[in-house]
Structure 1
Amino acid sequence: MAQVLEFRLPDLGEGLTEAEIVRWLVSVGDVVAVDQPVVEVETAKAMVEVPCPYGGVVTARFGEEGTELPVGAPLLTVAVGAVDGGPGGGPVPDAEAREPGGGHRAAGSRTSGAAPPGGAADSAGAAGGASGETSGNVLVGYGTGAPAARRRRVGPRSVRPAAGTPVLREPGVVTPEPAAVQEPVPEGPVPVISPLVRKLARQGGVDLRQLTGSGPEGLILRADVERAVQAAAAPVAPAVPGTASEPVPAPAAAAEPAGRTGQAAGQAAGQEIRIPLRGVRGAVADKLSRSRSEIPDATCWVDADATELMAARTAMNAAGAPKISLLALLARICTAALARHPELNSRVDTERREVVLLPEVHLGFAAQTERGLVVPVVRAAHRRTAESLTEEFARLTDAARRSALTPAELTGGTFTLNNYGVFGVDGSTPIVNHPEAAMLGVGRIVPKPWVHRGELAVRQVVQLSLTFDHRVCDGGTAGGFLRYVADCVEQPALLLRTL
């Protein structure tokens, strides 16, 4: 008799207490190996794949896609151990065993002469090849050229029992499979940009497999689902005798702003749309609410002439070396300013009523993604060069867009740089990223009239704003920090003092 073991949602670290099921990677009846990922979940920090510590046959799954489970809740059950063979004869594969050379196999599969060529292992390899999977620890995508954002890393491949081998469907029940019938290869997952798109599709009754994505390499975007929902809800013009009836075209969903998710579809159906505050969006909402309720913030701002900074960057990038980003130069200026005003690189210990000055600058930067606003963190930014900062910003930004940031890369920041100028706005009063003490905002750099050397001229002007926790410092410190940043923007040579 096989032993049925229950696998519960493990502690995912960083104080996380719950996770939402994004996608099941196995089905009931599948054979899994030890440490094989079985489900993809979204936490308040990132999307992660959860490996199963048992090897055997999946007998039950708990929770559909979109369900939120607390840590410790059952995820699935796995039947491990052998049972007496039925008409097919062989045992059900149980806990995994290792083959020579470091590979994996199910313990029930034969390695001696009992298994002819093209047996269970070979047929499993063929099925894996048809669905895009290969043995070993490899990346599995949706096909050739699938975007890395939706690829998953799996361990050893699942081995399907050979034809005629009994497969455990329920604990203690053996169902023989006909030798002449071959299991069809299951279709691969649909390339969707975010869990929210799947949820909108379910709510609107849209079959994602019937859609052609407009994103990179066929990725299905939110606008694609909204367009399909609108097309299904659009009224049809009455048919005129002798003519073909044609549906009235729906308005273009792409014209809707990204923040108004599903609004047009809800209006067409005469219903309101409710979007749960879960995952990353829920975590951002909680953090911003806590910041507003706990931190007595204040904001000061200044306009600066960034013409010389832009010219210096152009000269750096013309030298043939790796390109330097503007964000990296601003980050380098921030770290130099924090060395002069360490009060702004701190946090408040409310229990002890103390301001804790932090020894290192872990610089966060705001990044907008399809899953919402995230703040990746560059560790020890004060010890990095502009070139190193450029590389790290690029790496973290790419990981954020692919939803591949780890919890460690999203926590531990001590100061945040918010470049909202990429949205085409000049100024803002940002909310401090709790529990940090300050945030520097940078608007767009645009040509404006400016008095330069006593004469009116057209210069590249940027607005800088600093929002700070008034408990850690007063306006003099905040003003001194912001003025130094503005001076370095106007005269980049001032940074030479800190090199």
Structure 2
Amino acid sequence: MAQVLEFKLPDLGEGLTEAEIVRWLVSVGDVVAVDQPVVEVETAKAMVEVPCPYGGVVTARYGEEGTELPVGAPLLTVAVGASAPADAPTAAHPAPEPAASPAPAPSPASAPASDETSGNVLVGYGTGAPAARRRRVRRAPMSGSAAAPAPAREPLNGAAGAVAVVSPLVRRLAREHGVDLRELAGSGRDGLILRCDVEQAISQGATQAAPAAPAPAAASAPAPATIRTPSPAPAPVRATPSARPGVTRVPLRGVRGAVADKLSRSRREIPDATCWVDADATELMAARTAMNAAGGAKISLLALFARICTAALARHPELNSTVDLAAREIVRLPEVHLGFAAQTDRGLVVPVVRDAHARSAESLSAEFARLTEAGRAGTLTPGELTGGTFTLNNYGVFGVDGSTPIINHPEAAMLGIGRIVPKPWVYEGELAVRQVVQLSLTFDHRVCDGGTAGGFLRYVADCVEQPAVLLRTL
């Protein structure tokens, strides 16, 4: 006899309390294996696939694509030990009402210990069992009624041809609004289609639409096969119009909500201060050009600043620390896990390069490139977005010289890098045109005073102006 088990949205770690369903990977009636990914969700930190700890037949799914669920809410139910899917309900998306719910399902801890179940519900962690091939099981028709054919799953946009789209969110947005990605010209690098491209196409489509609404079809006229029937619970709209004309309300959730919460906490808890200095980066730029001309892996400018930062933190360890409010202690950290601010279609993210102090310039360049690409694709894991001890913020890419950033809580400092531009500069007693950059350090005044912060920033500036200074500390 089949046992129906309920699988709930697991704790995804790092304090995450909710997730949004991006794409279902299984349908009602599908047979799933232990630890097979069943749904793709977007958290405030990353896009992840959630594996189901049970093996059996999917009998129900809870939530449409675009629905936001709290941790602990039901995701789906699985009939374990079922030989046929006759036990499955006919609704593909039943409402989670108490009256319609199956008998209370045992928790994973009390589930039978067999090959059809696993106690693992953490994302990315499984038993190592071989993944079974998905198959669709046809449901036997009920007596006295015709069996309705299962609706075909909607293919991904651009399945008929190559489409320059990386982000699953962009694909979903296009799918929800009926935008054919193959007809769009991407504004991103190498023709990459970005969210703004899809939103522009949606706006143009709304403007060009006929003002007169079509007359309602007769009750006996069947809908064309190419028209998708809207689901009873559509995905929530991210931006909703306000009662006041021209005003739009955007919910603070997902990445934007997580950023808002973290920055607000930083402002509440950290008494920050900022100091800055202009530096002549001509020699640093020349050194990078010479390194890249020698062959081998290319060295990024951000990697050189990272090497300078780790050397500066070795001289001023106070800035590689955090504050334990409960114990009223400053906790100085031995490793440098270097975060760097990256702007993506999903918003601002801060990937972390682990053990940056032990990496070469080549290794740092490769890791920065890998994490940046993962951030643009929305595939960064929660572990790659947490645990930083110091942050680099290269706001010069936005064409600005200076900034007073908010510290990435619970870190103690952040180095800001402005744009590098030709400016008049007194060099060796004469006025010359040099490549000048403004550097800023925002620091937690609880962990050190201005003398330490100034010493750190001055050392960074000296290494920028004379890269040979860095060689003396290696």
* Other-structure match for 2:206: 232
CA distance in 2 between counterparts of 1:195 and 1:158 reads 22
| Contact 1:362–1:412 (8 Å) recurs in 2 | yes
CA distance in 2 between counterparts of 1:468 and 1:84 reads 63
Identical amino acids, percent of aligned pairs: 74
- Structure 1's 32 and 21: CA in aligned 2 closer, same or farther, altered over 3 A? same
* Other-structure match for 2:155: 188
| Contact 2:396–2:420 (8 Å) recurs in 1 | yes
Deviations 1:22-59 (A, max 9, x none): 11112222232222211111112211001112222222
| Contact 1:304–1:462 (8 Å) recurs in 2 | yes
| Contact 1:213–1:221 (8 Å) recurs in 2 | no
SS in 2 for 1:15: coil
CA distance in 1 between counterparts of 2:265 and 2:84 reads 58
Indicate yes or no: 2:452 matched with 1:477. yes
- Structure 1's 84 and 343: CA in aligned 2 closer, same or farther, altered over 3 A? closer
List runs of 5+ in structure 1 lacking aligned partners.
87-104, 107-153, 239-260
Deviations 1:165-214 (A, max 9, x none): x5279xxx799999xx9978633233776576578669xx7224587343
Q: Which has the higher contact order (CA 8 A, sep 6+)?
A: 2
Aligned-residue offset at 1:357 = 1.0
Deviations 1:221-266 (A, max 9, x none): 333233323432358699xxxxxxxxxxxxxxxxxxxxxx999x96
1:49-448 → structure 2 map (5 Å cutoff): 49-82=49-82, 155-161=131-137, 167=139, 186-190=153-157, 206-209=177-180, 212-215=183-186, 219=193, 221-234=195-208, 270=245, 272-448=247-423
Aligned-residue offset at 1:321 = 1.9
CA distance in 2 between counterparts of 1:214 and 1:345 reads 45
What's the Cα RMSD here? 3.3
| Contact 1:226–1:262 (8 Å) recurs in 2 | no
CA distance in 1 between counterparts of 2:318 and 2:386 reads 20
Indicate yes or no: 2:436 matched with 1:464. no
| Contact 1:5–1:78 (8 Å) recurs in 2 | yes
SS in 1 for 2:248: coil
Aligned-residue offset at 1:444 = 0.5
Task: Tell me the TM-score normalized by structure 1.
Answer: 0.73
Amino acid at match of 1:10: P
CA distance in 1 between counterparts of 2:340 and 2:85 reads 59
Deviates more, 1:399-408 or 1:457-466: 399-408
SS in 2 for 1:471: coil
CA distance in 2 between counterparts of 1:220 and 1:309 reads 34
Indicate yes or no: 2:13 matched with 1:23. no
| Contact 2:166–2:192 (8 Å) recurs in 1 | no
CA distance in 2 between counterparts of 1:213 and 1:287 reads 36
CA distance in 2 between counterparts of 1:272 and 1:52 reads 42
| Contact 1:38–1:50 (8 Å) recurs in 2 | yes
Q: Would you say how many aligned residue pairs link Structure 1 and Structure 2?
A: 399
SS in 2 for 1:167: coil
| Contact 1:211–1:224 (8 Å) recurs in 2 | no
- Structure 1's 214 and 221: CA in aligned 2 closer, same or farther, altered over 3 A? farther
Indicate yes or no: 2:453 matched with 1:486. no
List runs of 5+ in structure 2 lacking aligned partners.
87-114, 117-129, 159-164, 213-236
CA distance in 1 between counterparts of 2:373 and 2:467 reads 28
* Other-structure match for 2:40: 40
Deviates more, 1:270-279 or 1:72-81: 270-279
CA distance in 2 between counterparts of 1:85 and 1:294 reads 55
Aligned-residue offset at 1:299 = 0.6
SS in 2 for 1:359: coil
CA distance in 2 between counterparts of 1:451 and 1:168 reads 85
Amino acid at match of 1:319: A
CA distance in 1 between counterparts of 2:195 and 2:144 reads 41
Aligned-residue offset at 1:431 = 0.6
| Contact 1:307–1:460 (8 Å) recurs in 2 | yes
CA distance in 1 between counterparts of 2:389 and 2:310 reads 11
Aligned-residue offset at 1:380 = 1.1
| Contact 2:282–2:465 (8 Å) recurs in 1 | yes
Deviations 1:316-375 (A, max 9, x none): 111112111110100000011111111111111111111111111111100111111111
